[in-house]
Amino acid sequence: MANIAIIAARGGSKGIPKKNLIKLNGLPLIAWSILQAKKSKLINSVWVSSDSNDILDVANEYGAFEIKRPKRISGDTASSESAWEHAVKCIISKKIKINKVVALQPTSPIRESSDINAAIIYFQKNKLDSLLSVTEIEDFFIWENKKNRPFPVNYDYKNRCRRQSIEKKFLENGSFYIFKPETLMNYKNRLGGKIGLFPIEKYKSFQIDNLDDISLCEAIMKYYKVNNR
């Protein structure tokens, strides 16, 4: 029974053309996720699912197995679940028995193999069916507009409490997910059954969505010496 990493990376991108191939600290963006997964001692193989031959060529260069994603599940409205389910079926067809899937988002490059290892161990220890990486939200007083009127979300402004008294909350940062293949197939969702939260440091929650994010992530990775080469 193998633990496998799947990196779903479409060729198209509205914000940054060929985003998964842009250079980040000297490497193609997708290469960081591949190297982090390959460095993990608890992952048996790394697979990249993409509709782009250029991305698959880079995946092969950095030691990942290739899965050509059909065009019908590669558009802007295609879900990550559809790509993961297709990849899982392809891997199973190769007579590989999958224990757990570690799904890494390539646009979240600020993570380390130690994060992946710790999350897998936590998954196993707590007998989970699925897990998501999260970041603890600091103690802020949060408001929202409802019909153009402001309302407090997490406290009563008439009985204002200390910030430290606000109940702890977590942000789903999208860096990675872990799930059993049967969880994905049964729920058609990355999350289902017994779900676990795995907190990672705040600086590892940054994603690359626009050009400004590239310089920010490069600076963070250099400062914290995030390096998985």
pLDDT digits (tens, 9 = 90+) for 140-171: 788 899 989 999 887 888 888 777 777 788 99
Whole-number pLDDT of residue 138: 76
Across the chain, mean pLDDT equals: 93
- In contact, 2 and 196? CB cutoff 8 Å: no
Q: What is the C-alpha separation between 9 and 126, in angstroms, rounded?
A: 30
R_g over Cα of the chain: 19
For 44, other C-beta atoms within 10 Å of its C-beta total 15
Q: Is the predicted pLDDT of residue 136 greater than 80, yes or no?
A: yes
| Token digits of residue 49 | 């699912």
Whole-number pLDDT of residue 228: 58
Q: What is the C-alpha separation between 83 and 70, in angstroms, rounded?
A: 9
Q: Is the predicted pLDDT of residue 39 greater than 80, yes or no?
A: yes
Q: Is the predicted pLDDT of residue 131 greater than 90, yes or no?
A: yes
Known catalytic membership, residue 72: no
Query: What mean pLDDT do residues 20-41 have?
Result: 96
Whole-number pLDDT of residue 229: 54
pLDDT tens for each residue of 171-228:
999 999 999 999 999 999 999 999 999 999 999 999 999 999 999 999 999 988 766 5
- In contact, 123 and 186? CB cutoff 8 Å: no
Q: Under CATH, what is the fold of the domain 2-134+171-223?
A: Spore Coat Polysaccharide Biosynthesis Protein SpsA; Chain A (3.90.550)
| Token digits of residue 153 | 């979300």
Catalytic position from the list 111, 160, 163, 229:
160
Whole-number pLDDT of residue 54: 96
Percent of the chain past pLDDT 70, that is, above it, reads 98
Whole-number pLDDT of residue 182: 97
> Which pTM does this prediction carry?
0.90
